[in-house]
Chains A and B, each alone.
Chain A
């Protein structure tokens, strides 16, 4: 079945460091891809998305490109801040009758001053 695999955390970085969180997916066809972020004690919020191959999603300095040849959607940010500390979830969804999201296991990011 469809699945999403993320790199295990926690990822610990110093402020202003470059961030990459790897995400790969297994699916038949070309689903939509998402990154959600969960801050401590809160629900998930959409960070960015891409709906077709080669699309680049971006928001708040974060970027991810939909690569169908490698079935990947890696999250990047050039310079992280302490406020970026959170858990990041990669997810896929089909635009079918249910629009269900399938989530990866999440990657915790800790940014130190």
Chain B
């Protein structure tokens, strides 16, 4: 059972570059979330989606964009990468009992 799959696991970007973090879930969950985790900090919500075609901003959306064309996929786009976006990014989906299922994370470094 794959659950939530994120790619890539690691990436180094130069300032100003763009990239997309991929997230796929095979549990047919409607709700999906992108969080970032900075060292010694909790998780901050970037964007979320309550179903295909619907997305909304979280706590820290600036510098990011998302789309949700299918139930399975919820990619996160970074435009014009900045050092402040160096972080570990987690994608999650919500099950029927309220539990969030997390991917293994994508570690991004912007130099």
Chain B: interface residue total (CB-CB under 8 A): 23
Report Cα–Cα, A46/B102, bound state, in Å: 9
Are B104 and A43 touching (Cβ within 8 A)? yes
Q: Which residue of B lies closest to A42 (CB)?
A: B104
Q: Which residue of B lies closest to A46 (CB)?
A: B99
Is B33 an interface position by the 8 A CB rule?
yes
Q: Which residue of A lies closest to B3 (CB)?
A: A43
Q: Per-residue 0/1 for B63-106: is the Cβ within 8 Å of any A Cβ (1 yes, 0 no)?
A: 00000000000000000000000000010101000111011110
Are B105 and A43 touching (Cβ within 8 A)? yes
Report Cα–Cα, A46/B42, bound state, in Å: 15
Are A99 and B43 touching (Cβ within 8 A)? no
Min distance, Cβ B111 to any Cβ of chain A, angstroms: 22
Min distance, Cβ A91 to any Cβ of chain B, angstroms: 8
Report Cα–Cα, A106/B38, bound state, in Å: 11
Provided the pairs A100-B48, A105-B42, A106-B42 are in contact, do residues A32 and B104 lie with their beta carbons within 8 angstroms? no
Is A26 an interface position by the 8 A CB rule?
no
Is A89 an interface position by the 8 A CB rule?
yes
How many A-B pairs fall under 8 Å by CB?
A: 55
Interface size range on A against B: 20 to 34
Q: Which of B42, B58, B90, B99 contacts A100 (CB 8 A)?
A: B58
Are B48 and A44 touching (Cβ within 8 A)? no
Q: Per-residue 0/1 for A83-113: is the Cβ within 8 Å of any B Cβ (1 yes, 0 no)?
A: 0000001000101011111111110000000
Q: Which of A36, A97, A99, A102 contacts B98 (CB 8 A)?
A: A99
A residues apposed to B, CB below 8 Å: 4, 32, 36, 41-46, 49, 51, 89, 93, 95, 97-106
What are 28 A-B pairs at a CB distance below 8 A? A4-B42, A32-B98, A43-B4, A43-B90, A43-B102, A43-B105, A44-B43, A44-B92, A44-B100, A44-B102, A46-B100, A49-B99, A89-B43, A95-B98, A97-B50, A98-B31, A98-B50, A98-B56, A99-B31, A99-B94, A100-B33, A100-B45, A100-B48, A101-B45, A103-B42, A104-B42, A105-B41, A106-B41
